[in-house]
Amino acid sequence: MAQDNATTASDGAVKQHAGVRQVWRESPTAVKSLLAGTMIIRLGGFVQVFMVLYLTERGFSDGQAGAALGVYGAGAVLGTLVGGWMSDRLGPRLTIVTTLLGSAALLPCVLYLDNYWAILVVIAISGAASLAYQPASTSMISLLTPVERHVMIFAMGRLAINLGTTAAPLLGAALVKVSWDFLFWGEALAVVVFSAVAATTLPHRMTTDTTDTTKPADGGTADGEAAAGPTGADGAAAAPKASYLAVLTDRRYLMFLLAMFVSSVIYIQHISALPLAVKHLGMGIEVYAAMIALNGLLVITCELLVAKVVQRWQIRTAVIIGVLLTGVGMSLYALPLGLAALVIATLVWSLGEIIGYPSLFFAYPAQAGPPALRGRYLGASNALYGLGSAVGPFIGVMIWNRYEEGLWLGCGVVGLLAAAAAWGGVRPPRATEKNEDRAENEGKGIGDSGTADAEIRTGT
């Protein structure tokens, strides 16, 4: 018996501290397909990048082109919410396939429309359809991957996203030289390929415990307190109907969403306000491009290596450090050190992205709620990230035009507040109940990814 226990503990340690190759090798085909499909769809993500240039090329005004891009972003935010609902109701596989096919069918329609308002409608719906798959994809990956490997597997997902989004503009520019039409048909083709891969490799049904739609991961009610509500005939608390209202009653998760939103607003300043700061310093566009390239290089080359360490931390620690370093890093742009300040600041907030973002945007939202609401929890987090990325540029440029370097100091202060919200919003591990939960789960035959009572952690 002692030998068996020792072997089990050893095996558990190996699983929890698995490296990149082992996690990839032991991941199910469905998970590998979703990661590959994510890279394919990002590699073919031309339309959003070139939308403004395309519409102005067709004779629309700069204002109309910018508004169309905003409409696309608004549709994407709505799409993640709808996608989360569909994932819970229809299942991840059907959600992924149907929304991707809808996006592929709509995208080329823009080429054949002349009416501006009709174009806006198609762009809004296609934007919603193009990102509706994300909550379902993240949900399925989390279901098929042991919880102690979530950070590593989602770091791989972020690598796929970053590789695709880095190469997409270059490939899109080459297509534009041939024909603008190739942008839309090219993205539609990439989406169809991903849809076909999903349809042929993803499981039709996912088995989860959906008997409790309101019990969060800390084992209490949505706000972490003891249940106190209407009871049924058997004396058990009556669970409300599964909906986004159940997410809104989770006060801890609302604090987490606040931290995510604020962090997204801060993070997007490297695209909106940083080029203005570089220009203000009298430096050329090549300096700004070098900072963006430095961030991309660090994320692509270092995130998986750092994930090998971060996966052993409590997920709360990873999220807080990531949010904190993002705000502190941005504040360092205010240092009067010229180019050195730009490099130092970029290194710091890039480290925050590498450490915290696999947990902040993927691992924790996938674990935070009960299984029956996993899609909605992910949809809410995706929507808040999209909203922060949409309003962040307006906020940042407005503050920069008025206070200039004061923007960066504000990022530091607001980053501290976001870290405090993350501390209050991310549920800490229940160390004292860990063994009880494990025994209960083993008795029910529920795996790592199928219980709402699982300890919220990256690994132990």
Does pLDDT of 224 surpass 70? Answer: no
What is the radius of gyration, based on Cα positions, of the chain? Answer: 22
Does pLDDT of 319 surpass 80? Answer: yes
Of 127-141, 227-241, 355-369, give the lowest mean pLDDT range: 227-241
DSSP string, 409-449: HHHHHHHHHHHHHHHHHSPPP-GGGHHHHHHHHHHHT--TT
Look at the block and give the residue holding tokens 């789960």: 441
Question: 397 with 408: CB under 8 angstroms?
Answer: no
Question: What is the structure's pLDDT at 179?
Answer: 87
**17-26 own/partner pairs: CB under 8 Å, 24+ apart:** 17/308, 17/311, 17/312, 17/459, 18/149, 18/152, 19/308, 20/152, 20/156, 20/304, 20/305, 20/307, 20/308, 23/149, 23/152, 23/153, 23/156, 24/156
- What pTM did the predictor assign? 0.77
How many Å apart are CA 132 and CA 354, to the nearest integer? 25
How many Å apart are CA 43 and CA 190, to the nearest integer? 8
Position 163 confidence tier, pLDDT thresholds 50, 70, 90: confident
Per-residue pLDDT tens over the stretch 258-270: 999 999 999 988 8
Per-residue pLDDT tens over the stretch 419-441: 999 999 998 765 323 433 443 44
Q: CA torsion 211→214→219→223, rounded to 10°?
A: 180
DSSP 231: B
